Amino acid sequence: MFYFLEQLGDGFGFFNVFRYITFRTGGAVITALFIMALFGPGAIARLAKLQGNGQPIQLDGPQGHILKKAGTPTMGGLMILASIVISTILWADLSNPYIWVVLFVTVGFGAIGFYDDYLKVIKSSNDNGFSGKTRLMLEAIVGVLACIALARISQAELSTSLLFPFVKDLSIDLGYFFFAFGAFVIFGAGNAVNLTDGLDGLAIVPVMIAAACFGLIAYLVGNITFSDYLLVNFVPGTGELAVLCGALIGAGLGFLWFNAPPAQIFMGDTGSLALGGALGSIAVATKHEIVLAIIGGLFVLETLSVIVQVVSFKLTGKRVFRMAPIHHHFEHLGWTESQIVIRFWIISVVLALIGLSSLKLR
């Protein structure tokens, strides 16, 4: 659609507005939100009918959590994926290779998550997905392929470099190690969002906050005027990723309508892996991998809580938290679900502001 409307701009001045990334980003937000609102209720009803008892709930979790979540259908990530892909195809410049690389990761991670969700629902147990090693291997393959493509697309001097925020012109050329590092960022982001997705609305809002930040970052580093002014490295072509970020925000807003407490649907691994993978690949494309760790600090915290819990238990036989990920620890302490979710949203906003400050503090 973008190409068609762009051509109309040669004869009709009004259609020139479709050449602006900012306008098309807004269009992507609205389109994805509209798709979710229009097809969401039907999709939820269909998924509920197909899944019967819904997503299996961890039996060792807080009893109130188990009672409230039991029977809720999962795989809502299919709705999110469809909205993102359709909206991006309608509004983005499809001749831009960055768009296709990020969509490849998003759909690839979504497919991995869907298969895992499918096995869990069919076998009615959280322990019956396919093995963690197999899943990580598949995610790593998708991540490495994406990083190889991104390195070929990028400018030669930046293709395998790691750039540091808050410092002007500081970078390290990682060479071939870049592919392993970039893949780690991508599948690490996917699994971090997956671990965070444990309470109604807990993951989707921080994902939207991160997407908004990286939409701005992509637009700025993809514009030579703004990148020169801000003293950040110019990465030509990445500005178009703002449109995809807009689609992600719109899909997230639409999903939140149905995922707000009490949730009518869970995104499942289908959605959480896809959204995290998308954020990770955008961070690698824009050369802001370290900034992702700041803006997505909530996801990092959730992941670290699991790592600390596992290591502590294996080494000492004792648990640091009452339950991991850390949001379940606060449930055990007596915090209500809404308290945990809203306070974690506040933390995400603060971390996003710190991450965005790296654009100017040099």
pLDDT at 258 exceeding the cut of 60: yes
- For residue 327, give every residue at least 6 positions away whose Cβ sits within 8 Å of its Cβ, in sequence order, or none: 196, 198, 199, 202, 302, 340, 344
pLDDT at 102 over 70: yes
Confidence at residue 74, expressed as pLDDT on a 0 to 100 scale: 85
pLDDT of residue 152: 92
SS3 at position 360: coil
| Burial label, 324 (beta-carbon count in 10 A; 0-12, 13-18, 19+) | buried
Q: At what angle do helices 177-196 and 268-286 cross, to 10 degrees?
A: 140
- The number of beta carbons lying within 10 Å of the beta carbon of residue 34 is 14
Residues 6 or more apart in contact with residue 139 via CB below 8 angstroms: 109, 112, 186, 187, 190, 191, 273, 277
- The residues with which 163 forms a beta bridge, in sequence order, are 171
Residue pair 266/311 in contact by the 8 Å Cβ criterion: no
Is 0.85 surpassed by the pTM of this model?
yes
* Alpha-carbon gap, residue 105 to 109, rounded angstroms: 6
Question: Is cis: bond before 41, omega within 30 of 0?
Answer: no
Q: In the prediction, which pLDDT does 196 show?
A: 95
- Percent of the chain at pLDDT above 90? 70
Q: What is the mean pLDDT of the chain?
A: 89
Which residues have a Cβ under 8 Å from the Cβ of 64 and sit 6 or more positions away?
331
pLDDT digits 0-9 by tens, 124-148:
655 555 677 889 999 999 999 999 9
What are the backbone angles phi and psi of residue 77, rounded to the nearest 5°?
-60, -25
| Structure token digits, residue 202 | 């807990």
